[in-house]
Amino acid sequence: MTFPAWVPTVVEAIYFSAAVLFIWGLKRMSSPRTARQGIVWAGVGMATAILATFFLPGMHNLGWMVGAIAVGVVLSWIIGRRVPMTAMPQMVALFNGMGGGAAAAIGALELIRFNAALLLVPDTASIQPEAWAGAAAGLSPVELVLAFVGVLIGAISFTGSLVAFAKLQGWMDRRFVFPLQRWVNLAIFVVAIVCGAIALAAGIDGHAFAWGWLTAFIVLALVFGVAMTLPIGGADMPVVISMYNAFTGLAVAFEGFVLQNEAMIIAGMVVGAAGTLLTQLMAKAMNRSLGNVLFGNFGGGGGAAQQEIAGSLKPIDANDAAVMMAYAERVAIVPGYGMAVAQAQHKIWEFAKLLIDRGVKVKFAIHPVAGRMPGHMNVLLAEAGVPYDLIEDMDDINPEFPNTDVALVIGANDVVNPVARTDKNSPIYGMPILDVSKAKNVIVIKRGRGKGFAGIENALFYADNTRMLYGDGQAAAGELVTGLKSLDG
Amino acid sequence: MITGFLALYIFMLAAFTGYEIISRVPVILHTPLMSGSNFVHGIVLVGAMVALGHAQGAVNIGIGVVAVLLAAGNVAGGYVVTERMLEMFKTSKVSAAPSPEKKR
């Protein structure tokens, strides 16, 4: 296909405006009121950039291209529309992994092309010693290095994200741990780097490299992504997904440099930086360092004995609980992922609305890592129709707990465990928690006597001011609603 | 052509931009935001199209098709999922604007 000479310039301009729209869109996403427009603007930028790409000079394989785009878009669109909100974290992991895989594939393709070109010009160095043979193959040494790094990061992000997806989806329930795992993983990584470096050194030197080195490099990078993610527990997954998100961004930026595509460089780099910051924020909210997440073993046996918890579990029935809250002045609802699993958020919101109608001041208290990802609980509550101005962050609500008459905990466990403040031997010691135990009364809706994600007894449940409302989250919430309604006749 | 230090400048400025934008986002939007940035790196589709557009031979075209397929999935999935989440955020006060960014 041939186009007029000005077409590439227009395409460049469209890429530029796409980069502007991405940054603008992300900026709009920083407030709930404008967030929706933000993603739409970014979407407009993306759509025009993709369309414009068809008009670049010298594009072949258009049939394959349109077909692959159609299949990829339709499949993802259907999956993305259908998944329940509780499954959002693994969806992010899945789509992120696809992006990482794409970046790695682009890098691999560029390297293959480069090497194939070098194979055609066997020994340029002897003919023109001053000319760098690689130039004939179309990549500068910097581009060559970045292509390799992009493949490495993209491949790790690809398989790592897929493992994270499988774990959160419940396809791989347990952590996969064996002795000396860290060293095995390190060995895989080092060998991958060595294979890549051998190929890279040859390429920079202007010689073609043996295909085996490149293949081994890519395969080992893919294997490393799996090996690195396998031992990480479900609780730490959000941090890992966020990190892979940043990885993919970087890989995209590097491959963008190789392809001389500014939109990819800017978008990739913005995501790389944003993802890195987000990863730090999440790790901090969970009181975990990134190193700890990647190489530590959480809840993995040993350690000093934890303090015994005194007291007993005191049950309450749903009607009494409903009455208690109906005549309270302030009620704080503390939801956790368990609420979402039980699909109780709609009933809880119905209950909260009834309380609000009676003049009770109701707030929702959200721990930064409630749900499976920071902000996930907000999404789940929003889905149930809870307005975001009733939702308080941990830092805002914690000073209010002493003035709260009733705190209703549903499906949350570790994030309200006062042991995090008091018991130095506890694995969760030091983790920021919601000070639910300081409320005048606490009601905990719980299915049974199980422990939290971290496998630790919860001192809150044994406290004097705590009553346990046993039952499935949704059923219990339903009983609360009935109890409240019966008060009015 | 972008070369050497010019590229470094672009990398640096883009990195700071990303850092700045995210540092102002309230926690309640972290999940949609992660998903939103996930969508933005779907721009890799453009690169995948270019790579496939210049690929020759069955193996290269195969790799290119895989790249485009994956990237297209990233773009579409990232968009749908983000949009679905953001669509749900509502406030109870219709007029009197609540200040959602109380904490920076």
CA distance B68 to chain A (A): 6
pLDDT at A307: 61
CA distance A179 to chain B (A): 34
Residue B8 within a domain? no
pLDDT at B96: 37
Residue B45 within a domain? yes
Closest CB from B22, B46, B102 relative to A278: B22
Closest CB from B30, B60, B100 relative to A374: B30
Q: Which of A236, A414, A423, A435 is catalytic?
A: A414
Task: Report the number of distinct structural domains present in chain B.
Answer: 1
Residue A327 has phi, psi (to 5 degrees) of -100, 10
Using DSSP, state whether A317 is helix, strand or coil.
coil
Range of the domain at B47: 29-88
In chain B, residues 8-67 whose CB comes closer than 8 Å to chain A? 10-11, 14-19, 21-56, 59-61, 63-67
Higher pLDDT, A181 or A267: A267
Residue B98 within a domain? no
Residue B47 within a domain? yes
Which residues are within 8 A (CB) of A336 and not within 5 positions of it... i.e. 6 or more apart?
Answer: A367, A370, A371, A377, A409, A410, A411, A412, A413, A415
Residue B72 within a domain? yes
Active site residue A414: yes
Q: State what percent of residues in chain A have pLDDT above 90.
A: 44
Residue B33 within a domain? yes
Residue B93 within a domain? no
- Pick from A204, A288, A290, A209: nearest CA to A244: A290
pTM score, whole prediction: 0.83
What are the pLDDT digits (tens) for A308-363?
Answer: 666 788 888 888 899 999 999 999 999 988 888 888 889 999 999 999 999 999 99
Residue B39 within a domain? yes
Q: Which residues of A touch B15 (CB under 8 A)?
A: 269-270, 272-273
> Does A173 have pLDDT greater than 70?
no
Which residues are within 8 A (CB) of B95 and not within 5 positions of it... i.e. 6 or more apart?
Answer: none
